[in-house]
Chains A and B, each alone.
Chain A
């Protein structure tokens, strides 16, 4: 994402671009420049790290004893060096918006887009609303946006092949944003992005859709997630699913959920984790409904969009969640 935001700031280079393919190949140049810095720093960092070999973990890692070499010098049998691609979905969405709205629908130019982003959408709220309401986003079983994730990870992997980590082996990629919460901290220092994200807002946590953009429901989201190419994401992939706990409150419904998940893995899904909703999240959803358009909750004999309910009902559901915690 950093590379894309840098590219969009070089307005003089944006003028002549006529097609998305041309745009993407120039973008790859920026990506390569950034990856080169990252890989070189990583190599230097690891070489400094090797001055203080980690003896105990090396003793416990396969290969280090037989090769008489610590982990930090490449003694382990499996020597991969892994990177997490934070903001991957925001990047794919941003590229999708650029492809759709700049090059296909001619709604605005790249230079205009840069102006929106620099203003952090202030004064261009109509443009942002239009993008968010009509853009083609990851998570809707729409190849247009979904396959852009694979396109980007393919580019990243292709460049990485030219580099060898200090410890040997090769660089692998994943989407894990773990307890360091890099999607929040990286978001904080990043300007607004073409997918409609405001400056300093968090990036999507791992493979989650843009807030409110997964309008196609749970089946479409799972199918999008199942399209991720596992060969390009050999490190951790995390797919988050938010669910209302009442969707699994009977044996019958749990069986349906099990069937849903079975299909996801049959389709090629790699990983999945389900978050049951907390009351806090529902409170946020009530306060910021535009981000929770797709949040479906089960009420009694039906489920519906949480944000479409009136205040009292929202409060009531929140109350209920407070009690189930």
Chain B
């Protein structure tokens, strides 16, 4: 049976698609965006996160660790005892049944709000088989489904989930290839082709544009021009860059590469004006 590497399931989200939603966060991503606010979603394997500033120094983690003298084997026992939640085990394998059990709890809230389930990440379509199986089950239960993707995935992955996906929340970060490579480490050729492909197939998309002044401020007009050629774009939303993920980089022992400058209100309003 298929299993998926998931690091969080958020209940009652208001921001991941229409209505009240349950958002499933998949672990593993193939882009390395400079502004990434979910650095724990990058690696496709579980990770121990340690928030130094929360640690009370009590030492329980050391006492209960069965493996203290050796390398951490991610058993997670320390997280069960940590009284300040300074230690957190991020990511584990879930079966479709397990995810469905979590989701089923929220079903009553979908009906009244027009909500449903959103698969997000990380890049959820790196686990397309699992996603397809989960989405298929959701459609059998009549649940509205959304897939939040960066688009840097194979055509095959898209085809697998397309029949069971009501709306794609699709990121467009830049149109110029060199800018995109600088921003994310990868070319956007596949991403833009995939977006066109989804549109040709008649799939509804909601476009999300992270606005990061240092990196893609000059791309907004080009994005608008690109989108004007698409027929099934339901909504275009600008997401203001924020630098709040700093503590997560530290907790993961990663270098914090977040851009320093935040967008100001004028810039955001201007971007909105260009797009709408």
Contact = CB atoms under 8 A, between A and B. Distances in A.
A219 interface: yes
B12 interface: yes
A218 B12 contact: yes
B64 to A, nearest CB: 7
Given A133-B81, A290-B84, A303-B13, A126 B20 contact: no
Contacts of A141: 105
B15 A302 contact: yes
A125 B239 contact: no
A133 B112 contact: no
Contacts, number: 112
B204 to A, nearest CB: 18
B185 to A, nearest CB: 22
Interface stretch (A56-64, A68-76, A173-181, A257-265): A257-265
A280 B93 CA distance: 39
Interface string B73-90: 000000111111100000
A293 B85 contact: yes
Interface residues of A, number: 42
Taking chain A's interface residues, is the majority helix, strand, or loop, or is none over half, making it mixed? helix
Interface string A116-141: 00000000011011101110000001
Interface residues of B, number: 41
A256 B83 contact: no
B247 A309 contact: yes
Given A217-B10, A299-B244, A300-B242, A256 B20 contact: yes
A303 B37 CA distance: 12
23 contacts: A125-B83, A126-B60, A126-B64, A217-B11, A219-B11, A219-B105, A219-B106, A220-B11, A223-B105, A223-B108, A253-B14, A257-B14, A259-B113, A259-B114, A266-B112, A289-B85, A290-B84, A293-B85, A299-B242, A302-B15, A302-B242, A304-B244, A310-B246
Given A128-B83, A310-B250, 11 more contacts: A130-B80, A133-B81, A217-B12, A256-B19, A259-B115, A266-B112, A289-B84, A290-B85, A302-B37, A310-B244, A311-B53
Interface of B: 10-15, 19-20, 22, 37, 51, 53-54, 58, 60, 63-64, 79-85, 105-106, 108-109, 111-115, 239-240, 242, 244, 246-248, 250
Interface of A: 125-126, 128-130, 132-134, 141, 216-220, 223, 247, 253, 255-257, 259-260, 262-263, 266-267, 289-290, 293, 298-304, 307-311, 313
